[in-house]
Chains A and B, each alone.
Chain A
Amino acid sequence: MTNDECKKVVLDIIADIAPDEDLSNVKSDVRLRDQLQLDSMDFLDIVMELRKRHGIEVPEADYMRLASLDSSAEYLVPKFNALAAKS
């Protein structure tokens, strides 16, 4: 999985959990909470949807790694690739 593909996965989830938000200009290097109306429950939604849709676990200690699209991709791509290697 590429970083861009991973960012799209995260953005697809955000599109569902924050349906009122305009996601066309989300900046990859800016914290998601600084550019979108997302609260702590929404971040739990992102974690839950990664688990449900993709089998990816994000331990609570790593939640901060999902702060921006860039940091999410940096953190999640190895997990996606490890999962793909298993299957």
Chain B
Amino acid sequence: MTLPRIVITGIGLTAPNGNSLAEFRGNLLAGIAGIEWLDVRYMGRLLAGVCHFDALKHQKKKEVRVGTRAGSISIWCAREAVADSGINFEAFPKDRVGIYIGCTEHGNVETENEIFAISKFNYDTKYWSHYHNPRTVANNPAGEASLNLGVTGPAYTIGAACAAGNLGLIHASQMLRLGEVDLALCGGVSESIHTFGIFAGFKSQGALATNDNPAKASRPFDKARNGIVVSEGGCLYTLERLDDALARGARIYGEIAGYGVNSDASDYVLPNPTRQAECVRRSIAHAGLEASDIHIVNTHATATPLGDIQECEAIRAVFGAGCPDTHINNTKSFIGHCMGAAGALELAGNIPSFTDLVVHPTINVDDLDPACALPGLVLNTPVRASRVDTILNNSFGMLGINSTLIVKRFVA
């Protein structure tokens, strides 16, 4: 059975260093990070990746007030992706549109806010907001997008920790192939910086980055790396079956080539390089490729001392001593860890390489950790590649969820 080919036709995003693909990509090539100081409840000034998109471009003030930050990010990304796709969305049957949004978590922000609010009233729960439940249900980000866009097809979130952004795209591809929908809005979002809990949790775990210079704080593969910079962000794509995209003369950014998803089944937080390598191999096999066919590997590495080494171990296991045409980079060094949005955003930052043949670097590597010295690692400045036909995007998450997505340059 031949399955329909799935292509990317639109991209909408907000990252700590850009609110469009052009701005984001420009900053990745110019070495411009997007980390700043943020006042976090109970904790004070911490490093974070903050997005600065104009929510009121696509939402009424009341929608912003009633909804969640994750909802606003989803709506921004969905609306921008639809506009970017050039599709006649007004005329498109809304019951044939699916919204599949990956999330690391959802509901912590509102719960923390409400507990803080009732603390001012001696914890009397009669002051608890009646919006608590619609704001905290796990499908909230996708549901808010469906309300805003009038989408009546399936709209839900996919919880997969920091692997969720890839999972949004993978699940959407599957739904398109099954014929469940004709247009998918998919990817991942994160509102994590608005909860103190994620910062406090990483700090207690010894995994929260510190640095006097925000731009230098997120430094995967560097010897001086000391943890994660928590960021918010979002990136949603329009995916379509190739025939549909061609029929309407759509611009095609790339084609979903293959993917792998598996689970470590070994620890709550510690990565498992053996399972990661299995996931990467599975994705390459699924795409009908060999390791040497991969031209860009975008790593998940979050700048934790152990996690980076373990991912490098997994990559070495798959790519061996190095494939001459394979470049390896990391986007978190610019934007921190956008959690549920990470996979989708980091993929987007690399997609222009299909056309400009430039590979964005991993910045902030002043002293490369020998344990992370992978062949093909692009350090600090962009490199020009002889060819970029494939991008392999790793995203891994807590409880051992691994996802690898491969996108290839579109060739009719």
Contact = CB atoms under 8 A, between A and B. Distances in A.
Interface in B105-155: 121, 126-127, 129-131
A18 interface: yes
Interface stretch (A44-52, A60-68, A76-84): A44-52
A48 B62 contact: no
Interface residues of A, number: 12
A49 B65 CA distance: 14
B61 A41 contact: no
Contact of A20 (B61, B129, B130): B61
B60 interface: yes
Interface string B32-69: 00000000000000000000000000001110011000
Interface in A34-72: 37, 41, 44-45, 48, 51-52
A51 B62 contact: no
A52 B129 contact: no
Contacts of B131: 41
Contacts of B65: 16-17, 19
Interface residues of B, number: 11
A51 B130 CA distance: 13
A20 B62 contact: yes
Interface string A1-31: 0000000000000001111100000000000
Contacts, number: 23
A19 B130 contact: no
Contacts of A18: 62
Nearest to B128: A48
A37 B63 CA distance: 12
A51 B127 contact: yes
A52 B121 contact: yes
B66 A48 contact: no
A51 B129 CA distance: 12
A44 B126 CA distance: 12
Contacts of B129: 48
B62 A52 contact: no
A20 B127 contact: no
A51 B121 CA distance: 11
Contact of B127 (A37, A45, A48): A48
Contacts of A16: 65
B58 to A, nearest CB: 14
Contacts of B127: 48, 51-52
Contacts of A17: 62, 65
A60 B60 CA distance: 29
Contacts of A51: 126-127
A19 B126 contact: no
Given A52-B121, A52-B127, 5 more contacts: A37-B62, A41-B66, A41-B130, A41-B131, A48-B129
Interface of A: 16-20, 37, 41, 44-45, 48, 51-52
